[in-house]
Amino acid sequence: MTNTTILKFGAVEHSDGEDLPGWIVVEGRPTMQTAVQHTTADGKVMSGTWRASPGTYHATYTDYEFVHMIAGRIIITPDGGTPVEIGPGDAFVVEADFKGTWQILEPVTKHFVVRAS
């Protein structure tokens, strides 16, 4: 019997090396790779693995995101807000109206779930 409602992430075999829409490099030369490993039938929720190298992006979100950090260290600072340091094992959410910086201090690997607005 096959359970089609469970998908265990395996090794990342294919990833997109383009910067995400709304992410602008503001310091250094960071790069990112996004591997969408599952999308719901209605296309409103996607999940996968994201990797990035050190540097800083200014990010503008339009969708809600849940994140579980696997490796690396970042400082996320909302525009006009307080910096939050995130490291391996941490989990957090980013609301759809977030605008601010992601300062990537160490190479990052994260699992994500994004729900389209």
55-106, pLDDT tens digit by residue? 999 999 999 999 999 999 999 999 999 999 999 999 999 999 999 999 999 9
Give 2's pLDDT tier (boundaries 50, 70, 90).
low
Q: Is residue 14 part of a domain?
A: no
The domain in which residue 76 lies consists of 23-115
Q: Is residue 38 part of a domain?
A: yes
Furthest CA-CA distance within the chain:
52
Q: Is residue 36 part of a domain?
A: yes
Q: Is residue 44 part of a domain?
A: yes
Q: Are 101 and 82 in contact (CB under 8 A)?
A: no
Q: Are 76 and 86 in contact (CB under 8 A)?
A: yes
User: How many Å apart are CA 109 and CA 69, to the nearest integer?
Assistant: 6
Q: What is the pTM of this model?
A: 0.88
Could you give the number of structural domains in the chain?
A: 1
Question: Closest Cα partner for 74 from 111, 108, 24, 48?
Answer: 108
CATH code for position 66: 2.60.120.10
Share of the chain above pLDDT 70, in %: 95
